[in-house]
């Protein structure tokens, strides 16, 4: 294990080296002339476009300008951006002078392979970004939309390195683990805003329809330097669809287990500067007792979702996005009507959720081509949770504001910013767990490309937590592109402020938890190395990753109650991922494999143990045939290996299992019909063991942990109609 001080010192030395070496590298090149390129389209600038000439590259700022330092003489300059035709111009660079050229770009209607990511704040093309960002593009989002129109759980679970873990089998609660780290360390954002709270909770991603998502961006590993304490394990950023002219669509879906979905999508441009989108969803699921033991394997719910968005862009570097969200849900599980637990009692579980949020993002071009960005959001969420005869009511709230100022200077793309976040919790029926955290922050970020094949990125964030004091978290990333290979390396630190909400307490409620003692913040050091290359139609990528979490929260039994404590030793997680994609129209194949080891201090004894519910091996392969304007056929196969289990009287190690699926979609004019078969092999935990315990556990649970699917084989079919 690397000592924390040594780790922090190494990161700081890297940052200092970046500051010292970058200017010297630039000076060593001794450019003899300066070329300023201004990219325009229509009457406005084109930002985030890539400008290249003779192996030197840069990115245009919000004013559409980029600066290249070149030897005097003739040069061919190329400007590229997704959605535009490449612009090429012959330019004569004068020695010792600045040459200004204006290059006009034309929007290109046909689809172009290429993705721009926003989660790192610089809005680069994904291949130019030193921080590894994994993206689920709109095509993949649409595929998962046909499988589960009401939530994003399946979409994330089938992403390499991510695992959606069921945290409450009774009510279907779940969170997303990134590279083996606890789900509470994962920050879920919407367009960079914490609309679902600082700690998103176990139901947030089960209440988000994917219809209005343009893409999903995932940053794995410590991201506190970018987004603060809630991003200790990584970030899932949901990027919304932008309005197009007169889009209207309705989706209707029905499953064989009594699930129904109705989703409405409206979008339009309101003149040259304004546009809007509107998502509305009604979702229903009846309780399903698949193994007929009197306990619901699939909870029932009724949910309504409404999310309008308003967009404004003046075409001159200023834009505005305003979003409003409302979610109403009633969820129920536990014993079925008239059925009893092994103790001869009824034990219904219910959860009522009422959530509203609002968010604003403003981008304003200021003097000198710099960009001022303002972000703000607020969220309130009311719960009424019934555990048998125990009622727990609470209110979660979150308020967030951020301002950043960024520009490009001498080849450096940099920004500085300040943020203020308020996270609070108030319980009506349980005493001792209310909290209100206020966190002001300062952060900075710099990306520098001294040569075409090398990009360095460094970011640092200083938080002042109202309860746990100050924290500084750096992250350093490196991108190397020698020849056809691409290598990324990243190291960083993060922290997480303890709250009473863990996977264990969300399953049984805070009424079973002892008052919190003196807890320390959880901290992490993480590192990753990625190597990839394209071989024609084949793209391959390999990743090695590791993290060390100190003072991780664990639960201990204290009679019939739970106690939260800091682990005596570190939680160590390490592993690797392999990814291969093959594209040859109209066929697409993706294969993934993840190897993962995670160990922690045993909370109930001496020594160490494997972290429960962490598969050592996971793999998947997805094949898709897709013809534009006709339809698609997809086949998928996923493997999940053995997992260590705890407090399970039936077994200490889970069985490995396969999950297969088949999707068929066919277009008929404005209508698209689809049929999906999920889990064709009927992999199901209750096919091997009961879900319900023979006796109620000391902490109050009536079920084991869910280590495999509970619903078994499911079919769904529906229609998408554009009108």
Encode pLDDT of 306-354 as tens digits: 999 999 998 878 899 999 999 999 999 999 988 999 999 999 999 999 9
- Residue 654 is assigned to a structural domain of this protein: yes
The residue among 195, 188, 204 whose CA lies nearest residue 356 is: 195
In a domain, 120, yes or no: no
Residue 161 CA to its chain's centroid (Å): 12
CATH number of the domain within which 95 lies: 2.60.40.1120
Residue 439 lies in a domain: yes
HSE (CB half, 13 Å, CA atoms) of 579? Answer: 18
Q: Are residues 533 and 678 in the same domain?
A: yes
**Cα Rg of the chain (Å, integer):** 26
Residue 467 CB contacts under 8 Å (≥ 6 apart), including other chains: 435, 437, 497
Beta strands in 120-270 (DSSP E): 134-136, 162-168, 173-178, 186-190, 213-220, 234-240, 247-255, 259-270
Question: For residue 472, how many other CB atoms are within 10 A of its CB?
Answer: 15
d(CA 643, CA 652): 9
Phi, psi (degrees; rounded to nearest 5) at 356: -140, 145
Residue 604 lies in a domain: yes
Number of independent structural domains in the chain: 2
Kindly report the CA angle at 668 between 662 and 670, in degrees rounded to 5? 110
Q: Which residues of 106-141 are buried (b: 16+ CB within 10 A; e: fewer)?
A: eeeeeeeeebbbbbbbbbbbbebbbbbbbbbebebb
The β-bridge partners of 277 are: 267, 309
Separation between Cα atoms, residue 641 and residue 618, nearest integer Å: 6
Contact call for residues 369 and 65 (beta carbons, < 8 A):
yes
Which residues of the chain fall short of a pLDDT of 50?
1-2, 10-11, 14-15, 17-30, 110-113
Nearest residue to 179 via CA among 502, 530, 553 = 530
Whole-angstrom Cα distance, residue 648 to residue 313? 56
Burial class (CB in 10 A: 0-12, 13-18, 19+), 43: exposed
Query: Do residue 296 and residue 441 come from a single domain?
Result: yes
- Boundary (domain end) residue, out of 78, 104, 130: 104
Of 301, 324, 323, 321, which is closest to residue 312 (Cα–Cα)?
A: 321
CATH number reported for the structural domain that contains residue 478 in this entry: 2.40.170.20
Residue 118 lies in a domain: no
pLDDT for residue 420:
97
Q: Which of 57, 77, 104 is the last residue of a domain?
A: 104
pLDDT of residue 653: 97
Is the distance from CB of 93 to CB of 99 less than 8 angstroms?
yes
pLDDT, position 628: 85
The pair of three-digit structure tokens given for residue 603, joined into one six-digit string:
């909370």
Determine the 3-state secondary structure of 564 from DSSP: strand
Tell me the residue range of the domain where 630 lies.
Answer: 239-722
pLDDT of residue 114: 57
Residue whose C-alpha is closest to residue 647's, from 696, 601, 606: 696
Determine, yes or no, domain membership for 134. no
- Which structure tokens are listed for 601? 């201090």
Helix (H, G, I), strand (E, B) or coil at 272: coil
Residue 158 lies in a domain: no
Distant-in-sequence, close-in-space partners of 572: CB < 8 Å, separation ≥ 6: 1, 546, 547, 548, 597, 598, 599, 600
Using the 3D structure, point to which of 104, 137, 168 is the last residue of a domain. Answer: 104
Q: Looking at the DSSP assignment, which residues form a beta bridge with residue 528? A: 490, 545
For residue 503, being part of any structural domain is answered with yes
Asked if the peptide bond before residue 586 counts as cis, ω within 30 degrees of 0, the response is yes
């Amino acid at each position: 294990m690397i000592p924390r001080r040594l780790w922090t010192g190494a990161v700081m030395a890297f940052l200092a080296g970046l500051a010292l070496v970058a200017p010297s590298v630039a000076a060593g090149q001794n450019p003899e002339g300066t070329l300023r390129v201004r990219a325009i389209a229509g009457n406005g600038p084109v930002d985030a476009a890539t400008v290249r000439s003779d192996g030197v590259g840069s990115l245009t700022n919000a004013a559409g300008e980029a600066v290249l330092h070149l030897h005097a003489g003739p040069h061919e300059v190329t400007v590229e951006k997704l959605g535009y035709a490449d612009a090429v111009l012959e330019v004569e660079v004068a020695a010792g002078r600045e040459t200004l050229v204006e290059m006009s770009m034309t929007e290109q209607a046909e689809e172009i392979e290429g993705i721009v990511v926003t989660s790192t704040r610089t809005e680069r093309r994904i291949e130019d970004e030193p921080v590894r960002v994994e993206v689920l593009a709109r095509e993949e989002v649409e595929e998962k939309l046909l499988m589960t129109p009401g939530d994003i759980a399946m979409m994330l679970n089938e992403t390499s390195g991510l695992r959606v873990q069921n945290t409450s089998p009774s009510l279907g609660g779940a969170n997303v683990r990134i590279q083996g780290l606890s789900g509470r360390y994962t920050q879920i954002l919407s367009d960079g805003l914490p609309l679902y709270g600082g700690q998103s909770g176990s139901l947030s991603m089960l209440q988000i329809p994917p219809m209005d998502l343009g893409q999903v961006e995932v940053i794995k590993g410590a991201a506190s330097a970018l987004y603060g304490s809630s991003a200790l394990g990584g970030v899932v950023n949901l990027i919304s669809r932008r309005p197009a002219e007169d889009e209207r669509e309705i989706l209707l879906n029905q499953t064989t287990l009594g699930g129904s979905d109705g989703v409405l999508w409206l979008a339009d441009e309101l003149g040259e500067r304004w546009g809007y989108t509107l998502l509305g969803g009604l979702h229903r699921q009846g309780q399903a007792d698949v193994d007929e033991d009197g306990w619901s394997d699939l909870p029932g719910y009724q949910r309504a979702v409404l999310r309008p968005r308003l967009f404004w862009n003046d075409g001159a570097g200023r834009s505005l996005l305003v979003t409003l969200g409302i979610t109403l849900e009633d969820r129920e599980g536990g014993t079925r009507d008239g059925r009893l637990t092994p103790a001869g009692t009824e034990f219904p579980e219910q959860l009522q959720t009422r959530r509203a949020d609002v968010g604003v993002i403003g981008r304003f071009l200021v003097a000198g081509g710099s960009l001022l960005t303002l972000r703000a959001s607020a969220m309130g969420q009311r719960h009424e949770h019934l555990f048998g005869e125990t009622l727990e009511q609470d209110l979660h709230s979150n308020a967030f504001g951020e301002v950043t100022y960024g520009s490009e200077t001498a080849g450096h793309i940099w920004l500085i910013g300040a943020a203020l976040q308020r996270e609070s919790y108030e319980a009506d029926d349980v005493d001792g767990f209310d909290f209100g955290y206020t966190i002001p922050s300062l952060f900075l970020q710099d990306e520098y490309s001294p040569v075409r094949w090398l990009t360095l990125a460094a970011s640092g964030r200083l938080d002042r937590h109202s309860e746990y004091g100050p924290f500084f978290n750096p992250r350093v990333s490196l991108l190397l592109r020698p020849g056809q290979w691409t290598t990324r390396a990243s190291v960083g630190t993060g922290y997480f402020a303890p709250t009473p909400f863990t996977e264990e307490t969300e399953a049984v409620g805070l009424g079973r938890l002892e008052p919190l003692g003196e807890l320390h913040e959880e901290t992490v050091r993480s590192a990753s190395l990625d190597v990839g290359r394209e071989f024609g139609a084949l793209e391959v990528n390999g990743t090695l990753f590791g993290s060390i979490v100190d003072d991780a929260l664990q639960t201990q039994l204290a009679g019939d109650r739970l106690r939260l404590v800091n682990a005596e030793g570190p939680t160590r997680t390490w592993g690797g991922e392999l990814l291969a994609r093959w594209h040859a129209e109209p066929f697409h194949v993706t294969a993934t494999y993840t190897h993962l080891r995670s160990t922690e201090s045993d909370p109930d004894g001496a020594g160490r143990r494997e972290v429960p519910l962490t598969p050592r091996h996971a793999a998947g392969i997805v094949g898709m045939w897709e013809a534009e304007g006709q339809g698609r056929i997809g086949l998928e196969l996923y493997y999940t290996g053995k997992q260590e289990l705890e407090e399970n009287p039936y077994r200490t190690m889970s069985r490995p299992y396969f999950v297969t699926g088949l999707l068929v979609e066919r277009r008929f004019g404005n209508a698209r019909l689809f049929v999906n078969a999920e889990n064709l092999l009927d992999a199901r935990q209750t096919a091997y063991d009961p879900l319900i315990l023979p006796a109620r556990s000391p902490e109050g649970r009536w079920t084991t942990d869910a280590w495999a699917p509970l619903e078994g084989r499911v079919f769904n079919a529906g229609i998408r109609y554009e009108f």
